Structure 1
Amino acid sequence: MTTLTGRPAMRSPGRPPIRRDVERAFWVKIAEGLTSEDAAIACGVSGPVGSRWFRERGGMPSIQLSPPSGRYLSFEEREEIALLKAQGEGVREIARRLSRSPSTISRELRRNAATRGGQLNYRASIAQWKAELVARRPKTPKLVANERLREYVQDRLAGDIRFPDGTPVAGPQEPQWKGRNKPRRQDRRWATSWSPEQISNRLKADFPDDDSMRISHEAIYQALYIQGRGALKRELVTCLRTGRALRVPRARSRKRANGHVTADVMISERPAEAEDRAVPGHWEGDLIIGTGRSAIGTLVERTTRFTMLLHLPRMDGYGVEPRVKNGPALAGRGAEAVKDAIATTITTLPEQLRRSLTWDRGKELAQHAQLRIDTGLQVYFADPHSPWQRGTNENTNGLLRQYFPKGTDLSRWQADELEAVALALNNRPRKTRGWKTPAEALNEHPLSVQQAGVATTG
C-alpha cells in the first residue's frame, strides 16, 4: 500500500475527527460573541465539543480563521469526487466537472483513499482526514527552541518582586492554582507582571542587534493559554493583569456587559431639556456597593439635586440556600429587586417629576423596559466608562460615602434609616441652587406648575 499510494503508512483513524472547516467556523462564531455551546450548535457539533475546544485552547483559536484558498481540494469537492467515482466516471471526466487538473484527481484518488482490506476505496470523510493530517506543518515554538528568550520572557512575566537592595519580597501566600477563571477576593501572586506586549517591545530595545531575541505578544499569549503550545506553564496566567485562566474574546465581553443596552436607550437619545437642567423631573441613578454583595440604590434629580435612596434588603434564603445559575439574586441587588425598588420610590412623586432616568451600564437595570411600562419613566444608559455623564449622581454618591463607607455591610440599614440620611442631604443648602436646599427647590416646582395651569385655564 505504501508503494501504491505513494505515502507512508498511516494509522487507522477510527471515527474521523471533526473537519477543520467546522472548527474554523466555530471560532468565527466565538469571535462574534457567541457562547461555546451556541457556537458549537451553530456549526453542527454538540455543545460539550465546543466547550472542550474552548477550554483546551484557552479561549484562543489555534488555526487560521481566514477561509482557505482554492488551491487545495475542499471537502465539498471530495464529496463530488466520491460520488462520481461511485458512478463509474473516469479521472478526466471528474476533473472536467470540477475544473481541476486530471493529475490532481488521480493523485487524490491514490493518496487519500481508504486502504482497509488491501484495496483503494475512496470516501470523502477519510480523504479529508488524511489530507488535513498530512498538511500539518508543526513548528517548534520559539520559547521551546530558544532558552535565552524563554528565560527573558519568564523573568519579566513571573519574576520576583525585590527590595531596593535586591532581596526578594515574600508577598502574600500564593493560593493553589485551580485553573479557575479570574480569581476574586483572594490574594494573588506578587510578580513583575510585565504584559506580553511590554515584553515583546522591550526586546527590541534590550537586544537591538540580536534578531533571535524577538517574539510577538500573541505568541506569548498562545504559550500561556494553549495546552502544549510553548514552554510556559499554564499557571503563569496568574501573573497577567486579569489573571484569567481562559482568554475571553473581545466581542463576547462586550456582549456580556451591554446586552441589555440597545441604541434606543443610549444617552444620546435623551431629550435636550434633561441636558440643560431647565426642567425638573430628569433623574440619575446608580448603586453604591458594600461588602457581602450588599448595596443601596441612589436616585438624584438633576435640576434640584433632590436625593432618594432605595432600600435593597436581602431576600429570603440568602446565605442559606445554594446559589442557582440564572436564579434570583438573593443578595437583593438583582434586576427585579432594583426595578421594584425604583418603581415603589419614584411613583410617590407627581407625574411631572417622572420624566427620565439615566443609569450606569450595570446589569441591575436589565429590566428597564418593564420599569418604563410600570412607571412611565423613560430610561437611558450612559456611555461606557463615562461617569461624567452622570456627574450629579457621582457627586452625591461621594457625599453618601460619609454615611456608608466602602468596605462596610450596607444591608444592616433599614428603610427608615436610609430615609433619614436622604432627608439630611435634602436639607443641606446648595451653592448651585442659590443656597436653597434640594427639598425647597423641589417643592417650588409643583406650586409653579399648578399656578401656570390655573392661569392658562382662566
Structure 2
Amino acid sequence: MPSGYPHPRSTRRELFDRVCQGAPLIETARQMGVSTTAAWVWWRNAGAMKLLWGGNIERGLAEQGDPDGPGGRGHRLNLDERIAIMRGVDAGLSCAAIAAQIRRDRSTVWREVRRNRNADGDYHARMAHSRAAQKAKRPRGFKLDDPGLCAQIAEWMDQGWSPKLIAEMLAHDYPGDRLARVSHETIYTSLYVQGRGQLRADLHKQLSTRRAARKTQGRTERRDKFNGVLTISQRPAQVEDRAVPGHWEGDLILGARGTSAIGTLVERSTRFTILLHLPTDHTAESVATAMIETMSELPAHLRRTITWDRGSEMARWQDISLQLQTPVYFCDPHSPWQRGSNENTNRLLRFWFEKGTDLRVHTKDDLKRIQDTLNKRPRPTLDLDTPADRLATLLSQAA
C-alpha cells in the first residue's frame, strides 16, 4: 500500500473517529482493510496527538479528553458543535454561516478551525475535540511553593504590610523576573485556602481586618451636631490635589467599648502619620491639649488646615484653631469617607491597635515606635517612597 492517501477522505475520517474513541490504531486499520503503514502516515500527517500505550498496544485518545464533555453557550465547544463545524467546512460554508447554525459567534468558529484543524488542513471533529481537551489539561504552577518567596512575604506581613503592598514591592524589586512576583490575590488565596503554598497557617491573623472575608460597613449614626463650623466644602481648592503640603486629616481610633482611644493625624501630601497619646480619656479637652502640644512642633507652613469628623472630641476646635493658627474643617454628617487618607491610615494602624482591646496599655514610646514604623513603610501612592522621606525633604527645603 502506498504511503500517500489512496483511500478517500471518508475512510481516513472513519479511522480517526474510531481511534479518537479509544480503539487501537493498528487493529482498527486491519479491521478496515487499510495498511498499517498507511494508517500511521495518516495519523502523523494529520498532526495527531501522541497515542497512549499499555500492554504493547496503542489505545487511542479515550484517556486524553472527554469527547462528550459539557458545552453550550458560555462554555467550551462540545462534540456536537464540532461535528456541525466539520460538516459546514466540508460544505464550503463561511464561518458566519456555521456560527449561525450552532448559535455561536463567528469568531469562535474561526478560532476553532484555525487552532484545532489537522496539520494537513483538514478539520476533523473528534480529533479537534480531543486536541482541545488535551490542551485544556495543562496544569498551572502555583508560585507560592517557593520557600524563599514565602519567607519574604511572611516577614513583610509580620510587619503589618498588606498583600497589595507586598505584590507591588515585589513587582518593583523584580521587574524582569516573573517567578519572583505574585499578585495580591494569590497571597489571599494562600491565606484562606488550605493546602495552597507554603505560607504559615496563622499568617492570615496579620491582616489588618483579622477577617477571612471582606465585610461591608454600615453607617454609624452620630448624635452630636456641629452648627456654624467650617465645612469641608469650604476648604481651599489646593487641598484636593495634594500638591501643597501641610493639610491634615484626623480622627480617633477607639478601643474596647469606646473607653480608650488614640488620636491619628495624616498629612495628605506625604501621608505622614502622627499619633496622639490619650492615656486617660478622649474628652474634648484631652484631645485639644494633645493636638496643640504635638502639632506645635511643626513649622507653620506644614500646618495649613485640619479636617476632622463630627465627633464630640472636637468640641474645643476653636481653641485648637486659635493656638495653632490653623483653620479646622469638618466633614459632612455621616461622611467619614471625605477624610479618605485618614480612614485608610486608621485601617493600617489596626494591625497594632486591634478592635476590642484596651488602647491605654500603649505608652507614648509605643506610639512613637509604631508611628515611625508606619512612616518608614513604602507607599504605592508615593511611588513606593516613604512618608518619612517625603516629610524630611520638605523640612530640609524649608531649612
Which bin holds the TM-score, normalised by the shorter protein?
A: 0.3 to 0.5
Using structure 2 for the length normalisation, give the TM-score: 0.43
Using structure 1 for the length normalisation, give the TM-score: 0.38
Larger Rg: 2
